[in-house]
Structure 1
Amino acid sequence: MSQSIATDFFSPEEQAEWVEEPDISHLVTEDDTLINLLAEKQQRLLTSCLYSSWKPGIPFLVTANVGLFYAINKPAIVPDILLSLDVEVPQDWQQKKNRSYFTRIIGKPPEVVIEIVSNTVGNELGSKMKDYARISVAYYVVYDPLQQLGDRLLRVHELRATSYTELETTWMEPVGLGLTLWDGVFEGKQDTWLRWCDRDGNLIATGDERAETERQRAERLAEILRSQGIDPDELLS
């Protein structure tokens, strides 16, 4: 709202409310159903890059905030990120049974679940970890960008028998993926991001990163052609 409009229509007391920073300490901005902007963007990064650039040779499903139904008459668990290998989204996904991840229908639990910690309400290192172990999720990852659970940003757990063991590595061999922390810019925001990577630590590229790589490759090819006296634009005409 412009200053002139505020002056014309509001009293000095009302104008002050627009200028002073409001007290939002009483508002719940993150809980089991609300996520913050950082977590939302992080979820999109983790899902979109696999569909853009990962080629495991088998179908896969990676989702954000989709219900995981592991038993009849039990409420769903809703992981921030779910990755399941060798599965496909049913063609008729308008049917209720195909709109969520039902382990009984799909036939298996997901291989990887990632929880992005926003607060301590989710109990990611307690009851939630036990829930995923009971479902037999092979790898359980806890990413704590706001350090709500301590000094460590990233924990990767592997299911052994009926409980999780924390790994010293972030590489998940049966999945063919690893995780790494990357300082960079995603969608205009500079931050430390959780990224998928290959065995050697190379990032699984986003669609924009792939496009930029292709653009640079085309420019290098054009320079080589010009050095040989060939106009690349004429080749395309």
Structure 2
Amino acid sequence: MSPEVAIETDLSPDISKLAIEDDTPVDNLISEKQQRFLTEPLYSNASALGGRTFLLAANVGVFYAVRQPPLVPDVFLSLDVEVPQAWREKKNRTYFVWEFGKPPDVVIEIVSNKEGNELGSKLHDYARMGVAYYIVFDPLQQLGNEPLRSFEQRAGRYQEMSTFWLEAISIGLTLWDGTFEGKDDRWLRWCNAEGVAIPTGAENAEQERQRAEQERQRAEQERQRAEQERQRAEQAEAKAAQLAERLRAMGIDPDA
């Protein structure tokens, strides 16, 4: 009887001839800056996601079937996944759903014009892929009066939400009026349950600088108070010495 031989079978699709990158320009300056404003803060504040591992990327293809073209979200977030150390290998250079074992949890599309079909085919494509949350940010209000819309997948279809808090992953999104890299605008940002924006690395550094400056000022105030106390003590001691000297001049022993 022949011994049994274990045969390892690689069930991953053949991607050797699959194009995963191209050189087509895809975005304008506003979208590019907004994408970075969404990706950088979470990498600077990993605790914002409760310490869970994650992959957050902009303009990276998401392949959900080997014979289908990828979807290329402006931004996507996938929790509890990690990019392998051997990320130069072709299978690790983009987001193959079968390699990571799940679709992204959140997809964000930033509307630049009316041709992106963010509320049409993309809505259906991301639902079919299994993305839990789909966010459409329309800063120029190309698609209507609402600059921000959110959708949650329920029973294989998206239902529009009345909130931008993503309950299943404990993070939210908020519109924020302010300055990023010298540009004043209304930006889309990640936020906590209280609606407070997750800070960028630069904002963290500025907050730390301000805390250090406040601590320096408190230390300086304490030094000045100590110096004032020392001067008051010296003045009191000098007055006591002068009084004692006058008493002695009058023939009175100040120590009696």
Structure 1 length-normalised TM: 0.82
Q: Does 1:143 align with 2:109?
A: no
Q: What does residue 208 of structure 1 align with?
A: 202
Distance 2:116 2:156 in 1: 21
Q: 2:38 aligns with which of 39, 46, 60?
A: 46
Equivalent residue letter for 2:36: R
Equivalent residue letter for 2:27: I
1:166 and 1:33, CA in 2 relative to 1: closer, same or farther beyond 3 A?
Answer: farther
Q: Gaps (5+ residues) in structure 2?
A: 1-23, 225-256
Q: Gaps (5+ residues) in structure 1?
A: 1-31, 231-237
Q: What does residue 25 of structure 1 align with?
A: none
Q: Is the 8 A contact 1:115 1:143 kept in 2?
A: yes
Q: What does residue 161 of structure 2 align with?
A: 167
Q: Does 1:226 align with 2:216?
A: no
Look up the SS of the partner of 1:229 in the other structure: helix
Q: Deviations over 1:20-45 (max 9, x none)?
A: xxxxxxxxxxxx95211100000000
Q: Deviations over 1:101-132 (max 9, x none)?
A: 00001000110000000112111101110000
Q: Is the 8 A contact 1:140 1:156 kept in 2?
A: yes
Report how far residue 54 of structure 1 moved.
3.5
Look up the SS of the partner of 1:50 in the other structure: helix
Q: What does residue 112 of structure 2 align with?
A: 118
Q: Is the 8 A contact 1:60 1:85 kept in 2?
A: yes
Look up the SS of the partner of 1:228 in the other structure: helix
Look up the SS of the partner of 2:223 in the other structure: coil
Q: What does residue 211 of structure 2 align with?
A: 217
Look up the SS of the partner of 2:202 in the other structure: helix
Distance 2:99 2:165 in 1: 29
Distance 2:44 2:56 in 1: 12
Q: Deviations over 1:58-102 (max 9, x none)?
A: 111100000000012211100000100011111011111000000
Mark the structure with the bigger radius of gyration. 2
Give me the identity figure in percent. 59
Q: What does residue 8 of structure 1 align with?
A: none
Structure 2 length-normalised TM: 0.76
Q: Is the 8 A contact 1:54 1:204 kept in 2?
A: no
Equivalent residue letter for 1:86: D
Look up the SS of the partner of 2:168 in the other structure: coil
Look up the SS of the partner of 1:174 in the other structure: helix
Look up the SS of the partner of 2:205 in the other structure: helix
Map 1:26-175; keep pairs closer than 5 Å: 33-55=25-47, 56-175=50-169
Distance 1:35 1:141 in 2: 18
Q: Is the 8 A contact 1:109 1:136 kept in 2?
A: yes
Q: Does 1:177 align with 2:171?
A: yes
